[in-house]
């Protein structure tokens, strides 16, 4: 379409000027974000080292064995002490490892036989691209106790690892002498447990897992979660004081291994939590159980008093001031509580 316009005193045909389309703010933001994300994914794929040297989490003998449907399992052992074996189970997070149990391992080595298990998908255990579940982790604990420890043990588990150890004790109580849970998950009060909401929650976790595992961005998302800054930020939430520098360094190394992202994505999508662990497992345990806790940024202890009231085999000790890793900040108090507990059930 043309229109008549006057130019230098004369009228002539001149193409009609169309309004220029200027990008709005959302388009600009989208372009910038897309560029940043694309750059990070490229950096993740081409620059970040996913095969870093990984030192042992504790200075002890390492052994591997084939679990029952759990892949190859790695554990640390010091059998120089005498008495009942002590088995340590770490938590699950983006960079979990047996380093989380190192203060207890180092304290009890030489005093009694001590074992620390790398759960499937972490540490030196097999990090296969497979389905990870609470049942798988419980079986891994059973495998260590049955195949390598051989006699009933005192087991200490941390955070979400407490759910797996408790499930293992419920399945095979003959392998356990006692169970100690440090900052255990599973005591948050949930008001509504309708079946439809459970199904909805399960569906949401399935969708989240599928998104996290999508090959185009899976590694990039995990690398973003496990930068040194991210690791330091999340660990700071679990320390009353400054986070342990050794743990920060080890978490970074263990998160930069082939297959390191597979198991953590089941954790961040919510697939490893058992919604009714308290009613279905915790309160059905018949062995002695100790809970060590204080404040925790990631779990709550709303229903712990209910369990203590209903279960005479349970006791709890509050270790203050701590935020989820009391054995790092208040080791003498933790050791005293454990020793008193074991003495009562010797």
Query: What would the DSSP string read from start to end of 297-308?
Result: SS---TTHHHHH
The residue count for the chain: 346
What's the confidence (pLDDT) of residue 247?
A: 98
Name 298's Cβ contacts closer than 8 Å, sequence gap at least 6. Answer: 159, 185, 237, 238, 324
Phi, psi of 3 (to 5 degrees): -140, 155
What's the confidence (pLDDT) of residue 7?
A: 46
What's the confidence (pLDDT) of residue 196?
A: 37
What's the confidence (pLDDT) of residue 203?
A: 83
Name 68's Cβ contacts closer than 8 Å, sequence gap at least 6. Answer: 139, 142, 143
Phi, psi of 50 (to 5 degrees): -105, 20
Scored b (16 or more CB within 10 A) or e, 53-85 reads: eeeebbebebeeeebeebbebbbbbbeeeeeeb
What's the confidence (pLDDT) of residue 23?
A: 62
What's the confidence (pLDDT) of residue 205?
A: 85
pLDDT tens-digit profile, the chain (346 residues): 444 445 454 555 545 544 455 666 555 455 544 555 667 677 667 668 888 999 999 999 999 999 999 999 999 999 999 999 999 999 999 999 999 999 999 999 999 999 999 999 999 999 999 999 999 999 999 999 999 999 999 999 999 999 999 999 999 999 999 999 999 999 998 765 444 344 445 788 889 888 888 788 889 999 999 999 999 999 999 999 999 999 999 999 999 999 999 999 999 999 999 999 999 999 999 999 999 999 999 999 999 999 999 999 999 999 999 999 999 999 999 999 999 999 998 7
Cis check: omega of the bond before 286, within 30 degrees of 0? no
Q: Which contiguous run of DSSP H or E holds residue 118?
A: strand 114-118
Q: DSSP letter at 150?
A: -
CB 158 within 8 A of CB 91: yes
Phi, psi of 15 (to 5 degrees): -60, 135
Q: How many other CB atoms are found less than 10 A from the CB of residue 321?
A: 12
Q: What is the SS3 assignment for 182?
A: strand
The pTM assigned to this predicted structure is 0.87
Write out the two tokens for 4: 């008549």
Instruction: Give the CA distances from residue 196 to residues 8, 33, 192, 204, 242, in Å, rounded to whole numbers and listed in that order.
Output: 76, 36, 10, 12, 43
CB 140 within 8 A of CB 172: no
What's the confidence (pLDDT) of residue 200?
A: 43
Question: What distance in Å separates the CA atoms of residue 144 and residue 158, rounded to the nearest whole number?
Answer: 17
* Domains delineated in the chain: 61-192+264-344 (3.40.50.1820)
């Amino acid at each position: 379409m043309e229109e008549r316009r006057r130019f230098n005193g004369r009228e002539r045909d001149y193409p009609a000027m169309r309004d220029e389309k200027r990008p709005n703010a959302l388009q600009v933001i989208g372009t910038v974000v897309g560029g940043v994300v694309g750059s990070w994914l490229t950096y993740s794929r081409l620059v970040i080292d996913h095969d870093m040297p990984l030192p042992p989490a504790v200075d002890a003998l390492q052994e591997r064995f084939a679990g029952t449907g759990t892949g190859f399992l790695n554990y640390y052992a010091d059998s120089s002490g005498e008495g009942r074996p002590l088995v340590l189970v770490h938590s699950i997070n983006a960079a979990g490892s047996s380093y989380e149990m190192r203060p207890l391992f180092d304290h009890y080595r030489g005093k009694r036989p001590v074992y620390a298990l790398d759960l499937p998908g972490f540490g030196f255990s097999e990090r296969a691209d497979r389905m990870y579940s609470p049942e798988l982790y419980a079986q891994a604990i059973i495998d260590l106790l049955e195949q390598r420890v051989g006699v009933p043990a005192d087991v200490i588990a941390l955070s979400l690892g407490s759910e797996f150890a408790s499930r293992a004790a419920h399945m095979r109580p003959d392998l356990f002498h006692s169970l100690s849970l440090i900052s255990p998950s599973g005591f948050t009060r949930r008001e509504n447990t309708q079946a439809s909401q459970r199904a909805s929650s399960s569906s949401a976790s399935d969708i989240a897992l599928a998104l996290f595992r999508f090959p185009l961005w899976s590694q990039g998302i995990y690398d973003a979660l496990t930068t040194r800054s991210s690791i330091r930020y999340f660990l700071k939430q679990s320390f009353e004081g400054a986070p342990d520098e050794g743990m920060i360094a080890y978490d970074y190394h263990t998160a930069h291994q082939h297959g390191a992202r597979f198991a953590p994505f089941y954790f961040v999508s919510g697939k490893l939590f058992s919604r009714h662990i308290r009613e279905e497992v915790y309160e059905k345990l018949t062995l002695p159980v100790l809970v060590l806790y204080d404040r925790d940024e990631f779990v709550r202890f709303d229903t712990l008093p209910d369990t203590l009231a209903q279960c005479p085999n349970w006791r709890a000790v509050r270790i203050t001031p701590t935020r989820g890793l009391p054995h790092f900040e208040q080791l003498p108090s933790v050791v005293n509580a454990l020793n008193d507990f074991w003495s009562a059930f010797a």
